[in-house]
Structure 1
Amino acid sequence: MSSLTIGKLKLDGNLVLAPMSGVTNLPSRLLCRKYGASLVYSEMTSSEAVVRQSLKSIERGFTCKDERPMGIQLMGSVPENLAESAIFLQEKFRPELIDINFGCPAQGVIKNGCGSELLKKPGLIGEIIRMLSDSLDIPLTAKIRISDNFDETLKIAEIIEKSGADAITIHGRTQKQGYSGKSDLDFIKGIKSKLTIPVIANGDIFDEKTSQNVLEYTRCDGLMIGRAAIGNPFIFKKISYFLKTGEILPSRNTEERLGDFFDYVKLCRNYDMLTFNDLKRNAQWFTKGMENVKQVRMKINKTHDIDSIMAIMNGLV
């Protein structure tokens, strides 16, 4: 498996955990690092909220030495606010890099002119990357989606490169697609062939074979794994093992998968991050695909406190 270098940051591999709102908190990132993610990203963080000194938003960057290297992803559309928040977070948490989101398709994000909505303003994207590149002491990356037109998408990627970004992640779907349809590997492959900075492919990477196919077809420098890692941090070990050896690890049994859930709970307790809503979501995610999952999920849905969830999960062992 290849290593990936982003600016002055040299990683031990090329598998990256995608930033996901409501998912990639510190405990989930630690589990993904444990199983071989080479780099993990915080949840997307609003630069406006950081500038306003929103404690909830700032604490999304909370980190520890065991998860290094890690990156903080920022969202926003005002260059000065993005730069101010990036400098503040760089000083507070010392992340290995900062990422700017130009790809989120969520309505609440695009209605404020952020995320993938910025793809309609290439000039502003260039201004944002230039200002942050000049302001930071650490590598800067960007994440984009494709547009319907290859030349338009390539133009944006080239602007990001020329403006000073150290790497770019490309999700091969359009804003309109959201997470439906298929990721367009031809767009990613075409952009990779034109850029000199590292290109990380994202979208439809959910097992060993899809990982190999995306890497070989696009010739990208790395892979970013998102939804396939939700409740399944072991996917990083499966994919890295396959890319190194060509062999598929045996499927994990229920006890092993539940072990990851209990490790997640322990980490949440250790970092005082255990909440009912988050635990309920993770109990659903970690039981996906298990036997009698429908009945288990119905029981979890009816819970109203942490102890009830833990009783159900302990009963599965």
Structure 2
Amino acid sequence: MKLNKLKIGKTETPGNLLLAPMADVTNLAFRLLCRQHGADLTYTEMISADALLSENRKSLLKGLSSPKDRPFGIQLVGSSPEKLREAALFVEEEYRPELIDVNMGCPVQRITGTGCGSALLNSHTLVYEIISELTDALKTPVTAKIRILESDKKTLEIAHQIEKAGASALTIHGRKAEQMYSGSSDLAAIKVVKSELSIPVIANGDVVDEKSAENTLDFTGCDGLMIGRAAMGNPFIFRRIRHYLETGEKLEVDRTRQLEDFEAYIVLLEEHGLFSSLNLRMHAHWFTKGLPGSRQIREKINTLKDGKAIIDLIRTSCEDKY
């Protein structure tokens, strides 16, 4: 068995499978669905510290949780230690997450252009100031998510600054910021960081199935796995990987699985009042990707206005196609 417990601060989980924070993806309904399939810890989409402090309604919604969504972390993005501290104190009081994460890895230009995300990795001093500012002010454990840099030496320098400043764990994506999502995740670079740090290190990047999960854990020796894009429209990936790491056997997946999960997702969106706050067409694309007749399903969904009608369509599709 390779599925180990993970302890970050005072939070201990039965396994070490984490759902990555993803913009426009990891809303409460999606987190709950991933959790039902075996995710041990989930993170919200990144929330702008500036938007949170200006009481932007959409940003406030991103922090919503529920008793079934525990333990969970809230990820903040920003570049000002003072504003991040203020936003984190608000988050701690308002949402009471088990963890507060700082986004230091997003490579998207609209984020890096404001000095946030992976742009922070250009300044050791600022990275240290941000993490120490939060760890000094908060009762909640602080984590950070970074990308690798152009050399192991530079990546290690940043990682050591984060640990020295008091972070309780570090997630590292094995691509450089300029790669975006092209090329492959550099497991050797992640392994170097894991070998040097005493806090838990979580590997992120290219965990797409059972074998890649096993290989990443075996090769890097990391304490946990964070799964991102492979979970989009496919929360069942957590059940598959969990089962494989526990038993060494692969689950057979029924072809209706995606549509059944999509139906469950619609129910959760409605239950938590999130149905109108996202781009359903985009989510429908992820949940129906690769299925026979998926294009027709998405076209019909675009004309529907409520969850019941969408669920009826999904059920009809299941009966017709499978």
Do both share a fold (TM > 0.5)?
yes
Return the TM-score normalized by structure 1.
0.96
8 Å Cα contact 2:281-2:298 kept in structure 1:
no
Moved more, 2-11 or 205-214: 2-11
2:150 partner SS: coil
Deviation at residue 304 of structure 1 after TM alignment: 6.3
* Residue 239 of structure 2 corresponds to residue 237 of structure 1: yes
Deviation at residue 299 of structure 1 after TM alignment: 4.7
Deviation at residue 71 of structure 1 after TM alignment: 0.4
The 2-side partners of 1:42 and 1:257 are apart by: 22
The 1-side partners of 2:300 and 2:63 are apart by: 33
> Identity, % of aligned pairs?
50
Map of 1:61 onto structure 2: 63
Q: Deviations over 1:10-59 (max 9, x none)?
A: 11110000000000000000001111101000010000111112222122
* Residue 198 of structure 2 corresponds to residue 191 of structure 1: no
Q: Deviations over 1:192-233 (max 9, x none)?
A: 000000000000000000000000000000000000111111
Map of 1:114 onto structure 2: 116
Map of 2:37 onto structure 1: 35
Return the TM-score normalized by structure 2.
0.94
One-letter amino acid matched to 1:283: A
The 2-side partners of 1:59 and 1:120 are apart by: 31
Map of 1:279 onto structure 2: 280
Map of 2:266 onto structure 1: 265
What is the Cα-based RMSD across aligned positions, in Å? 1.5
Map of 2:80 onto structure 1: 78
**1:64-143 aligned within 5 A:** 64-143=66-145
Q: Deviations over 1:114-171 (max 9, x none)?
A: 0001110111000000000011111110000011111001100000001000000000
Tell me, which stretches of 5 or more residues in structure 1 are unaligned?
A: none
One-letter amino acid matched to 1:59: L
Map of 2:224 onto structure 1: 222
8 Å Cα contact 2:266-2:311 kept in structure 1:
no
The 2-side partners of 1:215 and 1:132 are apart by: 29
Deviation at residue 275 of structure 1 after TM alignment: 2.0
Tell me, which stretches of 5 or more residues in structure 2 are unaligned?
A: none
1:5 partner SS: strand
Map of 1:303 onto structure 2: 303
8 Å Cα contact 1:9-1:139 kept in structure 2:
no
Q: How many residues align?
A: 315
